[in-house]
Structure 1
Amino acid sequence: MIGMRLAQWLLTAAEMCGVFYIFLMFFERRSEKMWNSVLLGIMIVVLSGLTVWQREDTAMYSRYFMLACILAVTVAALAFFRTGFWKGLLATALYFETVYFLDVLSGYLGQLATGDEDFVAVIQKVLNPERLFVMTVSRLLVLGAVLAAVHYKGIVKNIFVRYKLVVAVFVLLEHIGLLYCDQVFYFSVVKKRRIDIYFVFFPLLILFVLILTIVFCIWKRRMNWRISVSGTRWRRKAIKK
Protein backbone atom coordinates (compact mmCIF):
# COMPACT_ATOMS: atom_id res chain seq x y z
CA MET A 1 0.00 0.00 0.00
CA ILE A 2 2.87 2.35 0.80
CA GLY A 3 4.36 1.60 -2.61
CA MET A 4 1.11 2.47 -4.38
CA ARG A 5 0.78 5.69 -2.39
CA LEU A 6 4.31 6.63 -3.33
CA ALA A 7 3.58 5.85 -6.99
CA GLN A 8 0.45 8.01 -6.90
CA TRP A 9 2.40 10.82 -5.27
CA LEU A 10 5.08 10.64 -7.97
CA LEU A 11 2.49 10.62 -10.76
CA THR A 12 0.71 13.59 -9.21
CA ALA A 13 3.99 15.47 -8.72
CA ALA A 14 4.88 14.80 -12.36
CA GLU A 15 1.46 16.12 -13.35
CA MET A 16 2.05 19.37 -11.45
CA CYS A 17 5.61 19.70 -12.71
CA GLY A 18 4.31 19.29 -16.25
CA VAL A 19 2.12 22.36 -16.18
CA PHE A 20 4.89 24.54 -14.73
CA TYR A 21 7.33 23.08 -17.26
CA ILE A 22 5.06 24.47 -19.98
CA PHE A 23 5.28 27.92 -18.43
CA LEU A 24 9.07 27.60 -18.14
CA MET A 25 9.34 26.74 -21.83
CA PHE A 26 6.93 29.34 -23.18
CA PHE A 27 7.14 32.29 -20.79
CA GLU A 28 9.89 34.28 -19.10
CA ARG A 29 10.41 34.07 -15.37
CA ARG A 30 9.71 37.25 -13.41
CA SER A 31 12.80 36.59 -11.35
CA GLU A 32 15.75 34.22 -11.64
CA LYS A 33 16.72 34.59 -8.00
CA MET A 34 17.10 31.56 -5.77
CA TRP A 35 14.29 32.52 -3.39
CA ASN A 36 11.89 32.74 -6.33
CA SER A 37 12.81 29.23 -7.46
CA VAL A 38 12.41 27.94 -3.90
CA LEU A 39 8.95 29.49 -3.65
CA LEU A 40 8.00 27.95 -6.98
CA GLY A 41 9.19 24.56 -5.76
CA ILE A 42 7.18 24.94 -2.56
CA MET A 43 4.12 25.86 -4.62
CA ILE A 44 4.49 22.69 -6.71
CA VAL A 45 4.91 20.55 -3.58
CA VAL A 46 1.85 22.11 -1.90
CA LEU A 47 -0.35 21.68 -4.97
CA SER A 48 0.86 18.11 -5.41
CA GLY A 49 0.17 17.36 -1.75
CA LEU A 50 -3.35 18.80 -1.92
CA THR A 51 -4.08 16.82 -5.07
CA VAL A 52 -2.82 13.58 -3.53
CA TRP A 53 -4.90 14.24 -0.41
CA GLN A 54 -7.99 14.86 -2.54
CA ARG A 55 -7.44 11.66 -4.51
CA GLU A 56 -6.88 9.54 -1.43
CA ASP A 57 -9.52 11.11 0.79
CA THR A 58 -12.27 11.81 -1.75
CA ALA A 59 -11.86 10.43 -5.26
CA MET A 60 -9.42 10.13 -8.14
CA TYR A 61 -11.52 12.38 -10.37
CA SER A 62 -13.20 15.60 -9.35
CA ARG A 63 -14.15 18.23 -11.90
CA TYR A 64 -14.56 20.83 -9.16
CA PHE A 65 -11.10 20.16 -7.77
CA MET A 66 -9.75 20.41 -11.31
CA LEU A 67 -11.28 23.88 -11.61
CA ALA A 68 -9.68 24.83 -8.29
CA CYS A 69 -6.30 23.61 -9.59
CA ILE A 70 -6.71 25.60 -12.79
CA LEU A 71 -7.40 28.76 -10.80
CA ALA A 72 -4.53 28.14 -8.35
CA VAL A 73 -1.97 27.41 -11.06
CA THR A 74 -3.11 30.42 -13.10
CA VAL A 75 -2.58 32.69 -10.10
CA ALA A 76 0.82 31.08 -9.46
CA ALA A 77 1.76 31.53 -13.12
CA LEU A 78 0.93 35.23 -12.92
CA ALA A 79 3.13 35.51 -9.84
CA PHE A 80 6.15 33.64 -11.22
CA PHE A 81 5.99 34.16 -14.99
CA ARG A 82 5.53 37.06 -17.39
CA THR A 83 2.18 36.05 -18.78
CA GLY A 84 -1.23 37.60 -19.10
CA PHE A 85 -4.22 36.28 -17.22
CA TRP A 86 -6.04 34.86 -20.23
CA LYS A 87 -2.96 33.20 -21.72
CA GLY A 88 -2.15 31.64 -18.37
CA LEU A 89 -5.73 30.54 -17.85
CA LEU A 90 -6.05 28.99 -21.30
CA ALA A 91 -2.73 27.14 -21.05
CA THR A 92 -3.54 25.83 -17.57
CA ALA A 93 -7.12 24.87 -18.42
CA LEU A 94 -6.03 23.09 -21.58
CA TYR A 95 -3.42 21.11 -19.65
CA PHE A 96 -5.59 20.01 -16.73
CA GLU A 97 -8.68 19.34 -18.80
CA THR A 98 -6.62 17.11 -21.08
CA VAL A 99 -5.18 15.21 -18.11
CA TYR A 100 -8.60 14.68 -16.54
CA PHE A 101 -10.24 13.88 -19.86
CA LEU A 102 -7.65 11.19 -20.54
CA ASP A 103 -8.16 9.82 -17.02
CA VAL A 104 -11.87 9.43 -17.68
CA LEU A 105 -11.34 8.02 -21.15
CA SER A 106 -8.63 5.58 -20.02
CA GLY A 107 -10.82 4.43 -17.15
CA TYR A 108 -13.74 3.81 -19.46
CA LEU A 109 -11.60 1.92 -21.96
CA GLY A 110 -10.22 -0.14 -19.08
CA GLN A 111 -13.78 -0.94 -18.08
CA LEU A 112 -14.60 -2.07 -21.60
CA ALA A 113 -11.41 -4.14 -21.83
CA THR A 114 -11.94 -5.96 -18.53
CA GLY A 115 -15.70 -6.28 -18.83
CA ASP A 116 -15.96 -5.20 -15.20
CA GLU A 117 -18.86 -2.78 -14.78
CA ASP A 118 -17.42 -1.60 -11.46
CA PHE A 119 -13.94 -0.88 -12.86
CA VAL A 120 -14.29 2.91 -12.97
CA ALA A 121 -16.28 3.07 -9.74
CA VAL A 122 -13.52 1.17 -7.94
CA ILE A 123 -10.56 3.18 -9.27
CA GLN A 124 -12.50 6.34 -8.52
CA LYS A 125 -12.64 5.51 -4.81
CA VAL A 126 -9.85 2.99 -4.20
CA LEU A 127 -6.11 3.30 -4.72
CA ASN A 128 -5.22 0.11 -6.58
CA PRO A 129 -2.92 -1.00 -9.43
CA GLU A 130 -5.68 -0.31 -11.96
CA ARG A 131 -5.92 3.33 -10.88
CA LEU A 132 -2.15 3.70 -11.11
CA PHE A 133 -2.20 2.15 -14.58
CA VAL A 134 -4.89 4.57 -15.77
CA MET A 135 -3.03 7.54 -14.30
CA THR A 136 0.25 6.40 -15.85
CA VAL A 137 -1.25 5.99 -19.32
CA SER A 138 -2.95 9.39 -19.31
CA ARG A 139 0.12 11.19 -18.00
CA LEU A 140 2.41 9.54 -20.53
CA LEU A 141 0.08 10.72 -23.29
CA VAL A 142 0.10 14.24 -21.85
CA LEU A 143 3.89 14.11 -21.55
CA GLY A 144 4.09 13.24 -25.24
CA ALA A 145 1.80 16.16 -26.08
CA VAL A 146 3.86 18.56 -23.94
CA LEU A 147 7.13 17.46 -25.54
CA ALA A 148 5.57 17.83 -28.99
CA ALA A 149 4.36 21.33 -28.07
CA VAL A 150 7.86 22.29 -26.94
CA HIS A 151 9.35 20.82 -30.13
CA TYR A 152 6.94 22.86 -32.26
CA LYS A 153 7.25 25.87 -29.99
CA GLY A 154 6.91 28.42 -32.77
CA ILE A 155 3.66 26.98 -34.08
CA VAL A 156 2.19 26.65 -30.58
CA LYS A 157 3.10 30.24 -29.71
CA ASN A 158 1.60 31.39 -32.98
CA ILE A 159 -1.65 29.58 -32.16
CA PHE A 160 -1.89 31.15 -28.71
CA VAL A 161 -1.08 34.64 -29.97
CA ARG A 162 -3.09 34.78 -33.19
CA TYR A 163 -5.84 32.27 -32.54
CA LYS A 164 -6.59 32.77 -28.87
CA LEU A 165 -10.33 32.57 -29.52
CA VAL A 166 -9.92 29.21 -31.26
CA VAL A 167 -7.96 27.89 -28.28
CA ALA A 168 -10.68 29.18 -25.95
CA VAL A 169 -13.33 27.36 -28.00
CA PHE A 170 -11.24 24.18 -27.86
CA VAL A 171 -10.91 24.48 -24.07
CA LEU A 172 -14.67 25.01 -23.82
CA LEU A 173 -15.33 21.96 -25.99
CA GLU A 174 -13.03 19.90 -23.82
CA HIS A 175 -14.86 21.02 -20.70
CA ILE A 176 -18.22 20.20 -22.26
CA GLY A 177 -16.77 16.80 -23.11
CA LEU A 178 -15.87 16.34 -19.45
CA LEU A 179 -19.38 17.35 -18.39
CA TYR A 180 -20.78 14.52 -20.46
CA CYS A 181 -18.04 11.93 -20.27
CA ASP A 182 -17.61 11.97 -16.51
CA GLN A 183 -21.07 10.40 -16.36
CA VAL A 184 -19.10 7.17 -16.57
CA PHE A 185 -18.89 7.53 -12.78
CA TYR A 186 -22.67 7.29 -12.46
CA PHE A 187 -23.62 3.66 -12.18
CA SER A 188 -27.20 4.17 -13.39
CA VAL A 189 -25.98 5.72 -16.63
CA VAL A 190 -23.32 3.09 -17.26
CA LYS A 191 -25.78 0.29 -16.51
CA LYS A 192 -28.08 1.47 -19.28
CA ARG A 193 -25.14 1.86 -21.71
CA ARG A 194 -26.25 5.40 -22.53
CA ILE A 195 -22.76 6.73 -22.15
CA ASP A 196 -21.20 5.07 -25.20
CA ILE A 197 -22.15 7.88 -27.57
CA TYR A 198 -20.29 10.42 -25.42
CA PHE A 199 -17.06 8.50 -25.74
CA VAL A 200 -17.46 8.29 -29.49
CA PHE A 201 -18.66 11.78 -30.29
CA PHE A 202 -16.80 14.14 -27.97
CA PRO A 203 -13.24 12.77 -28.24
CA LEU A 204 -13.57 12.72 -32.03
CA LEU A 205 -15.02 16.23 -32.05
CA ILE A 206 -12.25 17.59 -29.84
CA LEU A 207 -9.56 15.80 -31.86
CA PHE A 208 -11.06 17.11 -35.10
CA VAL A 209 -11.06 20.71 -33.84
CA LEU A 210 -7.46 20.38 -32.63
CA ILE A 211 -6.22 18.90 -35.91
CA LEU A 212 -8.15 21.47 -37.92
CA THR A 213 -6.63 24.28 -35.86
CA ILE A 214 -3.08 23.00 -36.28
CA VAL A 215 -3.52 22.43 -40.02
CA PHE A 216 -4.99 25.90 -40.44
CA CYS A 217 -2.12 27.51 -38.53
CA ILE A 218 0.50 25.62 -40.54
CA TRP A 219 -1.25 26.56 -43.80
CA LYS A 220 -1.49 30.20 -42.74
CA ARG A 221 2.17 30.28 -41.80
CA ARG A 222 3.22 28.79 -45.14
CA MET A 223 1.02 31.21 -47.05
CA ASN A 224 2.59 34.14 -45.20
CA TRP A 225 6.03 32.73 -45.96
CA ARG A 226 5.20 32.37 -49.66
CA ILE A 227 3.84 35.91 -49.81
CA SER A 228 6.99 37.16 -48.11
CA VAL A 229 9.23 35.25 -50.54
CA SER A 230 7.22 36.42 -53.55
CA GLY A 231 7.44 40.01 -52.35
CA THR A 232 11.20 39.73 -51.93
CA ARG A 233 11.62 38.29 -55.44
CA TRP A 234 9.43 41.01 -56.92
CA ARG A 235 11.49 43.71 -55.23
CA ARG A 236 14.72 42.16 -56.49
CA LYS A 237 13.39 42.08 -60.05
CA ALA A 238 12.26 45.67 -59.75
CA ILE A 239 15.72 46.72 -58.56
CA LYS A 240 17.41 44.89 -61.45
CA LYS A 241 15.17 46.63 -63.98
Structure 2
Amino acid sequence: MRTRLLYQEDSYIREFEASVVDVIDNKVILDKTAFHDGEGGVEADTGYLEATGARYRVRAGREGGEVVHIVEGGHNIKVNDIVRGVLDWEPRYRKMRLHTAAHILSAVLYKRHNALITGGEITPEYARDDFSIEGDMSQVRRAFEEAIAEVNEIVARGIEVKVYWLPREEALKIPGITKLAERTPPNLPVLRIVEIPGVDVQADGGPHVKNTQEIGQVKIVKIENRGRNKKRIYYTV
Protein backbone atom coordinates (compact mmCIF):
# COMPACT_ATOMS: atom_id res chain seq x y z
CA MET A 1 0.00 0.00 0.00
CA ARG A 2 1.27 3.45 -0.95
CA THR A 3 -0.89 5.37 1.51
CA ARG A 4 -0.04 6.21 5.12
CA LEU A 5 -3.18 5.70 7.21
CA LEU A 6 -3.41 8.81 9.37
CA TYR A 7 -6.54 7.59 11.18
CA GLN A 8 -4.54 4.72 12.65
CA GLU A 9 -2.20 7.27 14.24
CA ASP A 10 -4.86 9.79 15.28
CA SER A 11 -8.54 9.07 14.72
CA TYR A 12 -9.43 12.73 15.36
CA ILE A 13 -7.73 14.18 12.28
CA ARG A 14 -10.52 15.88 10.32
CA GLU A 15 -8.49 17.72 7.67
CA PHE A 16 -5.12 16.98 6.08
CA GLU A 17 -2.89 17.74 3.11
CA ALA A 18 -1.51 15.02 0.87
CA SER A 19 0.18 14.43 -2.45
CA VAL A 20 -1.51 12.53 -5.27
CA VAL A 21 0.46 9.38 -6.15
CA ASP A 22 -1.93 7.90 -8.72
CA VAL A 23 -5.19 8.64 -10.55
CA ILE A 24 -7.22 5.86 -12.16
CA ASP A 25 -10.36 7.27 -13.77
CA ASN A 26 -12.38 8.63 -10.83
CA LYS A 27 -10.17 6.99 -8.19
CA VAL A 28 -7.47 9.05 -6.50
CA ILE A 29 -4.67 7.49 -4.45
CA LEU A 30 -2.85 9.72 -1.96
CA ASP A 31 0.43 9.38 -0.09
CA LYS A 32 -1.54 9.71 3.17
CA THR A 33 -5.19 9.90 4.21
CA ALA A 34 -7.47 10.34 7.20
CA PHE A 35 -10.37 8.71 5.31
CA HIS A 36 -11.21 5.24 6.63
CA ASP A 37 -11.72 2.89 3.71
CA GLY A 38 -14.51 0.67 5.03
CA GLU A 39 -12.37 -2.31 6.03
CA GLY A 40 -13.52 -4.32 9.06
CA GLY A 41 -17.23 -3.70 8.63
CA VAL A 42 -17.10 0.02 9.44
CA GLU A 43 -18.83 2.05 6.71
CA ALA A 44 -16.31 4.00 4.62
CA ASP A 45 -15.82 7.71 5.24
CA THR A 46 -17.09 10.46 2.96
CA GLY A 47 -16.04 14.07 2.53
CA TYR A 48 -14.17 16.31 0.09
CA LEU A 49 -10.88 16.67 -1.71
CA GLU A 50 -9.89 20.24 -2.52
CA ALA A 51 -7.45 20.63 -5.41
CA THR A 52 -6.61 23.11 -8.18
CA GLY A 53 -9.18 25.57 -6.88
CA ALA A 54 -12.04 23.07 -6.94
CA ARG A 55 -13.82 20.97 -4.34
CA TYR A 56 -14.76 17.36 -5.13
CA ARG A 57 -17.14 15.11 -3.23
CA VAL A 58 -15.50 11.73 -2.44
CA ARG A 59 -16.03 8.49 -0.60
CA ALA A 60 -13.23 6.18 0.43
CA GLY A 61 -12.80 2.54 -0.54
CA ARG A 62 -10.27 -0.26 -0.80
CA GLU A 63 -9.35 -1.75 -4.18
CA GLY A 64 -6.39 -3.97 -5.01
CA GLY A 65 -4.86 -3.40 -1.60
CA GLU A 66 -4.94 0.39 -2.05
CA VAL A 67 -7.06 3.05 -0.34
CA VAL A 68 -8.89 4.93 -3.07
CA HIS A 69 -10.83 8.19 -2.93
CA ILE A 70 -13.71 7.82 -5.36
CA VAL A 71 -14.68 11.17 -6.87
CA GLU A 72 -18.30 11.91 -7.71
CA GLY A 73 -18.53 13.19 -11.28
CA GLY A 74 -15.64 14.60 -13.29
CA HIS A 75 -12.43 16.02 -11.87
CA ASN A 76 -9.09 17.55 -12.86
CA ILE A 77 -6.91 16.00 -10.16
CA LYS A 78 -3.48 14.90 -11.43
CA VAL A 79 -0.50 12.97 -10.10
CA ASN A 80 1.73 15.13 -7.86
CA ASP A 81 -1.07 17.60 -7.10
CA ILE A 82 -1.28 18.67 -3.46
CA VAL A 83 -4.80 18.18 -2.18
CA ARG A 84 -6.61 18.98 1.03
CA GLY A 85 -8.87 16.29 2.44
CA VAL A 86 -11.87 17.20 4.59
CA LEU A 87 -13.89 14.49 6.35
CA ASP A 88 -17.62 14.56 7.00
CA TRP A 89 -16.88 14.63 10.71
CA GLU A 90 -20.24 14.06 12.42
CA PRO A 91 -20.96 10.69 10.76
CA ARG A 92 -17.33 9.67 11.20
CA TYR A 93 -17.39 10.48 14.92
CA ARG A 94 -20.61 8.50 15.44
CA LYS A 95 -18.94 5.50 13.77
CA MET A 96 -15.99 5.89 16.14
CA ARG A 97 -18.33 5.86 19.15
CA LEU A 98 -20.19 2.81 17.86
CA HIS A 99 -16.94 1.04 16.93
CA THR A 100 -15.56 1.33 20.46
CA ALA A 101 -18.95 0.27 21.85
CA ALA A 102 -18.81 -2.78 19.58
CA HIS A 103 -15.46 -3.81 21.08
CA ILE A 104 -16.88 -3.55 24.59
CA LEU A 105 -20.00 -5.52 23.66
CA SER A 106 -17.98 -8.29 22.01
CA ALA A 107 -15.74 -8.51 25.09
CA VAL A 108 -18.73 -8.73 27.44
CA LEU A 109 -20.45 -11.46 25.41
CA TYR A 110 -17.16 -13.34 24.98
CA LYS A 111 -16.65 -13.30 28.75
CA ARG A 112 -20.26 -14.14 29.62
CA HIS A 113 -21.14 -16.67 26.90
CA ASN A 114 -17.90 -17.40 25.01
CA ALA A 115 -19.71 -15.86 22.03
CA LEU A 116 -17.81 -14.90 18.90
CA ILE A 117 -18.77 -12.37 16.21
CA THR A 118 -20.01 -14.02 13.01
CA GLY A 119 -20.81 -10.79 11.14
CA GLY A 120 -21.24 -7.10 11.64
CA GLU A 121 -21.67 -3.60 10.26
CA ILE A 122 -21.16 -0.10 11.65
CA THR A 123 -22.91 2.90 10.11
CA PRO A 124 -23.36 6.41 11.50
CA GLU A 125 -26.94 5.53 12.49
CA TYR A 126 -26.51 2.10 14.08
CA ALA A 127 -24.28 -0.92 14.52
CA ARG A 128 -25.27 -4.54 14.12
CA ASP A 129 -23.42 -7.65 15.22
CA ASP A 130 -24.14 -11.34 14.81
CA PHE A 131 -23.00 -13.56 17.68
CA SER A 132 -22.54 -17.31 18.00
CA ILE A 133 -24.81 -17.54 21.01
CA GLU A 134 -27.17 -20.43 21.76
CA GLY A 135 -30.59 -20.58 23.38
CA ASP A 136 -34.17 -19.67 22.57
CA MET A 137 -34.96 -16.07 21.76
CA SER A 138 -36.14 -15.20 25.26
CA GLN A 139 -32.77 -16.38 26.61
CA VAL A 140 -30.91 -14.54 23.84
CA ARG A 141 -32.83 -11.33 24.48
CA ARG A 142 -32.06 -11.52 28.19
CA ALA A 143 -28.37 -12.20 27.41
CA PHE A 144 -28.19 -9.17 25.09
CA GLU A 145 -30.06 -6.89 27.53
CA GLU A 146 -27.75 -7.89 30.39
CA ALA A 147 -24.71 -7.42 28.16
CA ILE A 148 -25.79 -3.92 27.08
CA ALA A 149 -26.37 -2.98 30.71
CA GLU A 150 -22.79 -4.04 31.48
CA VAL A 151 -21.54 -2.17 28.41
CA ASN A 152 -23.12 1.03 29.69
CA GLU A 153 -21.60 0.52 33.12
CA ILE A 154 -18.16 0.15 31.50
CA VAL A 155 -18.73 3.18 29.26
CA ALA A 156 -19.56 5.33 32.28
CA ARG A 157 -16.19 4.54 33.92
CA GLY A 158 -14.40 6.86 31.50
CA ILE A 159 -11.66 4.41 30.54
CA GLU A 160 -8.87 5.75 28.31
CA VAL A 161 -8.61 3.70 25.10
CA LYS A 162 -5.04 2.71 24.21
CA VAL A 163 -3.73 2.20 20.67
CA TYR A 164 -0.32 0.65 20.00
CA TRP A 165 1.50 -1.80 17.74
CA LEU A 166 2.90 -5.26 18.54
CA PRO A 167 4.85 -7.86 16.53
CA ARG A 168 2.33 -10.32 15.11
CA GLU A 169 3.68 -13.35 16.99
CA GLU A 170 3.52 -11.47 20.29
CA ALA A 171 0.02 -10.16 19.60
CA LEU A 172 -1.38 -13.59 18.74
CA LYS A 173 -0.38 -14.87 22.19
CA ILE A 174 -2.93 -12.54 23.80
CA PRO A 175 -6.15 -14.46 24.65
CA GLY A 176 -9.15 -13.16 22.69
CA ILE A 177 -7.01 -10.92 20.47
CA THR A 178 -9.71 -11.45 17.86
CA LYS A 179 -13.39 -12.06 18.62
CA LEU A 180 -14.25 -12.96 15.01
CA ALA A 181 -15.43 -16.52 14.42
CA GLU A 182 -14.26 -16.83 10.82
CA ARG A 183 -11.45 -14.32 10.50
CA THR A 184 -7.91 -13.98 11.77
CA PRO A 185 -5.87 -10.76 12.05
CA PRO A 186 -4.30 -9.60 8.77
CA ASN A 187 -1.05 -11.29 7.78
CA LEU A 188 1.14 -8.34 8.71
CA PRO A 189 4.43 -8.46 10.66
CA VAL A 190 3.16 -5.80 13.08
CA LEU A 191 -0.45 -5.52 14.25
CA ARG A 192 -2.29 -2.47 15.53
CA ILE A 193 -3.81 -3.18 18.93
CA VAL A 194 -6.79 -1.39 20.48
CA GLU A 195 -6.98 -1.91 24.23
CA ILE A 196 -9.67 -0.87 26.68
CA PRO A 197 -7.76 -1.63 29.90
CA GLY A 198 -9.45 -4.22 32.07
CA VAL A 199 -12.10 -4.84 29.42
CA ASP A 200 -10.78 -5.81 26.00
CA VAL A 201 -7.71 -6.17 23.80
CA GLN A 202 -8.20 -6.67 20.05
CA ALA A 203 -6.19 -6.41 16.84
CA ASP A 204 -7.99 -3.68 14.92
CA GLY A 205 -7.17 -1.19 12.18
CA GLY A 206 -10.08 1.22 12.44
CA PRO A 207 -10.79 4.56 14.17
CA HIS A 208 -11.90 4.69 17.83
CA VAL A 209 -12.69 7.27 20.50
CA LYS A 210 -10.07 8.13 23.12
CA ASN A 211 -12.29 7.61 26.17
CA THR A 212 -15.27 5.32 26.73
CA GLN A 213 -17.38 8.20 28.09
CA GLU A 214 -17.46 9.66 24.59
CA ILE A 215 -19.64 6.73 23.52
CA GLY A 216 -22.67 7.90 25.47
CA GLN A 217 -25.63 5.64 26.24
CA VAL A 218 -25.80 2.42 24.20
CA LYS A 219 -29.37 1.39 23.34
CA ILE A 220 -30.76 -1.75 21.74
CA VAL A 221 -32.72 -1.11 18.54
CA LYS A 222 -33.82 -4.68 17.82
CA ILE A 223 -32.79 -8.34 18.17
CA GLU A 224 -33.22 -11.00 15.48
CA ASN A 225 -32.78 -14.74 15.11
CA ARG A 226 -30.67 -15.29 11.99
CA GLY A 227 -30.31 -19.05 12.44
CA ARG A 228 -28.54 -21.53 14.68
CA ASN A 229 -25.66 -19.90 16.54
CA LYS A 230 -26.34 -16.60 14.78
CA LYS A 231 -28.26 -14.06 16.81
CA ARG A 232 -28.27 -10.45 15.63
CA ILE A 233 -28.38 -7.30 17.72
CA TYR A 234 -28.85 -3.78 16.36
CA TYR A 235 -27.85 -0.95 18.67
CA THR A 236 -27.14 2.75 18.61
CA VAL A 237 -25.75 5.56 20.78
TM-score normalised by the shorter chain: which range applies? under 0.3
Higher strand share: 2
Which TM-score applies when normalising by structure 2? 0.25
Relative to the length of structure 1, the TM-score reads 0.25
Greater Rg, structure 1 or structure 2?
1
